[in-house]
C-alpha cells in the first residue's frame, strides 16, 4: 500500500537464548502517530531499531519509507531517531550542537537548515545557551530540532518525555501533532497513558509479542473489562478482602478510590456487593480506561516471557 510508511511482517530477534521479538508485524500510515506501550524489557526498542534498519532481524521482512528494512543506509537518510537520554554535547551551545549535527549529515545548506530548525522549535532566543544548562523540557526540544534538521519523513521517538514536567510534555506533543499534520509519520514508545491517548493508533507489546493493537478506544473495548470504583472506608483492608473474591481480576489505586476490574461483569458486581456490605465503602460503575487495560495486559503478560520460541 502506497500510504504506508512502515510495513513489516514476521520480525524475530534473539540475543543468545532470549527471544526478544516474536513474529512482530506492524503497519503505520503516512502522517500517523503510532504509540508503543509495554513494560520495560518488552522488546519495544529492539522492534524500533529493526524497523529503521539499525538492527538486522533474524527473520521476517518489510519496508520502511519504501526501503527494505535491511537497507540501513537509505532508511537513515529519511529517519530522525530520538533516544530517551539526552545525547547532545552539553559543553556546546544549542546552535553549535545543531551545526555539528548538520555537518555530520553532510548537509549543503547547513546554516539555513539550522536557522529554520531553531525558528520552528522556538529556540532562536536561546541559541547561544550551553546545552548542559538547559532544563529537561528545553533539552528535549533541542533533541527534536536535531532530529528534524535533515527533514525526515519518519520520526522514531524512544520514551522521549521521560523525566520531563507535564507542561513540557504537553508542548512537545503539540509539536508532534503539528509534524504529523505535515505528513511526517511518528513511531513513539511511552509509559504515559495521557500520551498514549494522543496517538492515532497504539500497539501493546509484552515480552516480544504484540498483544493488542488499534485506537485507544478499540483496545479498551477489545479487552471486555467491567470496571467499578470503590471509595470510602478502609481501602487497604478492602483491597485484601476483594483480592479473595471470585470475579475480581485486578485492583488498582486511583487517587482516593480503587478501580476494580474483571471480565465477568455479573460476577464482579456480586463480589463487590458482598465485600462492601456492612462497611463504609461505596461502589459505583466506572468507565474502563486505558490505564486499567494497561495494568490488565501487564498481569496477563507474565507467562508470555516463558513462551517457547
Q: What is the pLDDT of residues 39-69, one digit of tens each?
A: 878 888 899 889 888 899 999 999 999 999 9
Whether the full predicted model's pTM is greater than 0.95, yes or no, is no
Q: Are 200 and 34 in contact (CB under 8 A)?
A: yes
Confidence grade of residue 249 (pLDDT, cut at 50, 70, 90)? very high
Residue among 14, 28, 2, 9 at smallest CA distance from 188 = 28
Residue 226 confidence (pLDDT) above 90: yes
- CA 92 to centroid of chain Cα atoms: 30
Average pLDDT over residues 289-303: 79
- Determine the average pLDDT of the residues in 274-285: 95
**Domain boundaries of the chain, sorted by first residue:** 4-217, 226-287
What's the mean pLDDT when you consider all of the chain?
A: 89
CA–CA separation, 167 and 210 (whole Å): 31
Beta strands in the chain (DSSP E): 4-15, 18-29, 33-37, 59-64, 67-68, 79-82, 154-158, 185-189, 201-206, 209-214, 226-231, 250-254, 257-262, 282-286
151 — alpha (psi -120 to 50), left (phi > 0) or beta? left
Q: First CA to last CA across the chain, in angstroms?
A: 30
Place of cell 516471557: 305
Pick the CATH number of 226-287 from 3.90.180, 3.40.50, 1.20.5, 3.30.70: 3.30.70
Per-residue confidence (pLDDT) for residue 309, from 0 to 100: 39
Tell me, yes or no, if the two domains 4-217 and 226-287 fold the same way.
Answer: no
Considering the four listed CATH numbers 2.60.40.3950, 3.40.50.300, 3.40.50.10800, 3.30.540.10, the one that applies to the domain covering 4-217 is 3.40.50.300
pLDDT at 191: 83
**pLDDT interval class at 302 (50, 70, 90):** low
Amino acid at each position: 500500500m502506497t500510504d504506508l510508511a512502515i510495513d513489516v511482517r514476521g520480525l524475530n530477534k534473539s540475543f543468545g537464548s532470549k527471544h526478544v521479538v516474536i513474529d512482530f508485524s506492524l503497519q503505520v500510515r503516512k502522517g500517523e502517530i503510532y504509540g508503543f506501550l509495554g513494560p520495560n524489557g518488552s522488546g519495544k526498542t529492539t522492534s524500533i531499531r529493526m524497523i529503521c534498519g539499525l538492527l538486522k532481524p533474524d527473520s521476517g521482512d518489510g519496508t520502511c519509507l519504501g526501503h527494505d528494512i535491511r537497507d540501513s543506509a537509505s532508511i537513515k537518510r529519511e529517519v530522525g531517531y530520538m533516544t530517551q537520554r539526552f545525547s547532545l554535547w552539553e559543553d556546546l551551545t544549542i546552535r553549535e550542537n545543531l551545526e555539528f549535527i548538520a555537518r555530520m549529515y553532510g548537509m549543503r545548506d547547513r546554516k539555513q537548515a539550522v536557522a529554520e530548525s531553531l525558528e520552528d522549535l522556538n529556540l532562536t532566543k536561546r541559541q547561544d545557551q550551553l546545552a548542559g544548562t538547559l532544563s529537561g523540557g528545553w533539552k528535549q526540544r533541542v533533541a527534536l530540532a536535531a532530529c528534524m534538521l535533515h527533514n525526515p519523513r519518519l520520526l522514531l521517538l524512544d520514551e522521549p518525555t521521560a523525566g520531563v514536567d507535564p507542561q513540557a510534555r504537553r508542548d512537545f506533543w503539540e509539536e508532534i501533532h503539528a509534524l504529523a499534520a505535515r505528513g511526517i509519520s511518528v513511531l513513539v514508545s511511552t509509559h504515559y497513558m495521557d500520551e498514549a491517548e494522543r496517538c492515532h493508533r497504539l500497539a501493546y507489546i509484552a515480552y516480544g509479542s504484540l498483544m493488542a493493537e488499534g485506537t485507544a478506544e478499540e483496545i479498551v473495548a477489545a479487552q471486555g473489562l467491567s470496571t467499578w470504583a470503590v471509595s470510602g472506608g478502609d481501602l487497604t483492608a478492602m483491597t485484601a478482602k476483594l483480592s479473595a473474591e471470585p470475579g475480581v481480576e485486578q485492583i488498582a489505586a486511583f487517587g482516593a478510590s480503587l478501580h476494580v476490574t474483571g471480565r465477568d461483569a455479573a460476577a464482579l458486581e456480586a463480589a463487590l456487593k458482598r465485600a462492601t456490605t456492612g462497611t463504609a465503602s461505596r461502589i459505583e460503575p466506572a468507565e474502563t480506561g486505558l490505564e486499567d487495560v494497561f495494568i490488565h495486559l501487564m498481569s496477563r503478560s507474565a507467562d508470555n516471557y516463558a513462551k517457547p520460541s
